[in-house]
Structure 1
Amino acid sequence: MLVEEVMKTDVITLPPHASISNAVELLQKHRIRHIPIVNEDFSIVGIVSDRDLRDASPSVFHGDSSNDSALQNEIKSIMSHPVVTIHPLDFVEEIARIFYDEEFAALPVVKNNILVGIVTEKDMLYTLIQLTGTNVQGSHIEVKVPHQPGIFPEVTSIIGKRKANIISVMVYPFKDDPNYKVLVFRIQTMNPLPVIQDLRNAGYELMWPNNIAEPKI
């Protein structure tokens, strides 16, 4: 999945000479947490967060109007720069690493040096929900398999024989053992028991559900 598929394009921005008061008003009005700062040609020169604004004008958030002069300072005086940006054609899976490593809450999206969008932590969380298929009603199955070529089609063919539609698939390592991996399926059925039994009959170990006993004959 690409960044351009999940980014917001209606980005609220401010010029560097705007006041801190302007930024506070925009955050409250649009219920956002970050404002990219752009120059005349819409290239990004900084970014301001709600935390930056709280630090610069704590009285605004505590009902004290005695610090009005500080609110008239230009936003460039508190903005963060230079700004880490991403491209619309970056993979979402790769920018997730940037969010994690750098502990960012938002990343501006830039194309040809022009701001075209923004991706937030909330956007990333919603994307994870989509990628894992948890937004669609279905059943969750985790299968421990050998880490070897051809194993994936073998497992999916077993599911396919039951005409169960696969909503999503994920793969992750099995603990610290490089000889195995875990295939995580969400299948569009409310009765996964036939698929579960077929997988067990084929010799696969299920990590989930691992509490459903095999039927007695």
Structure 2
Amino acid sequence: MLVEQIMKTEVITCKPHETIESALKLLHEHHIRHIPIVDDHQHVIGIVSDRDVRDASPSIFHPDPSNELKNELQTIMTSPVLTIHPLDFVEEIASIFYEQEIACLPVTKANKLVGIVTEKDMLYTLIQLTGVHVQSSQIELKVINKPGILPEVTSVLGRRKVNINSVLIYPYEADQRYKILVFRLQTMNPTPTIEDLQAEGYEVLWPNMPGIET
């Protein structure tokens, strides 16, 4: 999946000379947490978060709070800004969110702002990729880590003509000779499929259903 498929293209922006007060209003009006700061050519030169604005806002005990809010955004913005491209893979930018501990990434093309991706967008995308947003049953298998194992297993699943909503593969930490396959099937009764898998010698880790050996 590409970034252009999940990014928001209607991006609220500010110029560096605009005030903290103006950013504060935009954050509240549009219920957003980040505002990219751009120049006259739509180049991203900084970014301001709701936390930046909150930290820069004066205390209620300040003699003249309005003066603090008149400061320019360029005095509090984070710069330079890490950006991504519309044709980057979502799976790859997920690692950027994790490793850099950031909550928002502007999307640029030819050095111009074209969109934005937030951690909430990433979480929603993960929900879609795993298929948990639709009614389904989850089956987890421990299989030998060898080429061709996935089509072997899916051929067994195909006997029941059940749609596969998603497939996840991850290592079996206890023994690297194996891996775990996680299927989400479009059925509320996975028992016949589980029985087929076990009949072929596959070890079903989940569900551990009463009356079915696993």
In the superposition, the TM-score normalised over structure 1's length comes to: 0.95
| Structure 2 equivalent of residue 13 of structure 1 | 13
* C-alpha deviation, 1:201, in angstroms: 1.0
Distance in 1 separating the partners of 2:132 and 2:160: 21
| Structure 2 equivalent of residue 3 of structure 1 | 3
Distance in 2 separating the partners of 1:154 and 1:54: 55
- Helix, strand or coil for the counterpart of 2:192? helix
| Structure 2 equivalent of residue 25 of structure 1 | 25
- Helix, strand or coil for the counterpart of 2:4? helix
Distance in 2 separating the partners of 1:213 and 1:166: 25
- Helix, strand or coil for the counterpart of 2:107? strand
Aligned length: 213
Q: Is the 8 A contact 2:58 2:69 kept in 1?
A: no
Q: Does 1:70 align with 2:59?
A: no
* C-alpha deviation, 1:12, in angstroms: 0.2
Q: Following superposition, which runs of at least 4 residues in structure 1 exceed 3 angstroms of deviation?
A: 62-66
Unpaired runs of 5+ residues, structure 1, are none
Q: Is the 8 A contact 2:45 2:80 kept in 1?
A: yes
- Helix, strand or coil for the counterpart of 1:109? strand
Distance in 2 separating the partners of 1:136 and 1:106: 27
Unpaired runs of 5+ residues, structure 2, are none
2:84 to 79, 83, 86: 86
* C-alpha deviation, 1:212, in angstroms: 3.6
| Structure 1 equivalent of residue 116 of structure 2 | 118
Relative to structure 1, the CA distance from residue 37 to residue 158 in structure 2 (aligned partners, 3 Å threshold; closer, same or farther) is same
In the superposition, the TM-score normalised over structure 2's length comes to: 0.96
Q: What's the CA shift string for 1:70-114, capped at 9, x where partnerless? A: 100110000000000000000000000000011101000010000
Relative to structure 1, the CA distance from residue 93 to residue 58 in structure 2 (aligned partners, 3 Å threshold; closer, same or farther) is farther
What RMSD, in angstroms, separates the aligned Cα atoms of the two structures? 1.5
